[in-house]
Amino acid sequence: MVKLYERLLEDPTKEERDAIVHMREIAGWGADQVDEWCEEIRQKKKLFWFFYEDEERTKLVGVNALITSSYFFEGVQVSNPDESKVYVAHTFIYPEFSGRGYGHLICKFCVDYAFDVLGSSIVTMFTHVQNEPSLRIFRKLGFEEKQRLKVDWEPHEGVDNWIYEAVYMEKSRQ
């Protein structure tokens, strides 16, 4: 049985901010918005960001976040400011910890937080059509595929032109 300690970021320190930049660089995702996100985390309204540490609480195993503002991903409204619909984003497990069930654990934590703590009615997510671990996790958590669409992102800091097919999934409160 895997176990992690979760921590909700409230006032990101420089180390925590740098950890987010670091994980995004490893994932091949842009890091140019990290300072903006840290500000949103401090406002506690738009973005709930979780760090997950190992049992000894010495290593950061992964992160993820819930976006609760009015957020659109490729034209699809994936979250509402009243938190009725929230979006699971930025899910990342450090490669040295992958394949041990931690991804499933942190996604479950985030989804439970949305339904049980925020009182949301719908939780949403997007992933790459070829991201098998991510698809398996969210299907197992009861998410249903709603839409597939082609994403064609402009190149941004650290990331070359990015074109891929994305899967949009939702889970409604039981």
Ligand X SMILES: CC(C)(COP(=O)(O)OP(=O)(O)OC[C@H]1O[C@@H](n2cnc3c(N)ncnc32)[C@H](O)[C@@H]1OP(=O)(O)O)[C@@H](O)C(=O)NCCC(=O)NCCS
Residue numbers of the site for ligand X (CB under 6 A)?
Answer: 27, 91-93, 98-104, 127, 131-134, 136-137, 140
Contact (CB, 8 A) for 114 and 161: no
> Closest approach of Cβ 154 to ligand X, in Å?
19
- In the three-class reduction of DSSP (H, G, I as helix; E, B as strand; rest coil), residue 10 is classed as coil
Query: How far is it between the farthest Cα atoms of the chain?
Result: 42
Contact (CB, 8 A) for 1 and 48: no
**Cβ closest to ligand X, residue 44 vs residue 139:** 139
- Residue number of the CB closest to ligand X reads 103
For 9-59, where are the E strands, in sequence order? 47-53
**Cβ closest to ligand X, residue 41 vs residue 125:** 125
> Closest approach of Cβ 11 to ligand X, in Å?
25
Nearest-5° Cα angle at 171, 48 to 101: 70
Helices 102-112 and 132-140: angle between axes, nearest 10 degrees: 50
> Closest approach of Cβ 106 to ligand X, in Å?
7
> Closest approach of Cβ 99 to ligand X, in Å?
5
**Cβ closest to ligand X, residue 68 vs residue 127:** 127
**Cβ closest to ligand X, residue 120 vs residue 134:** 134
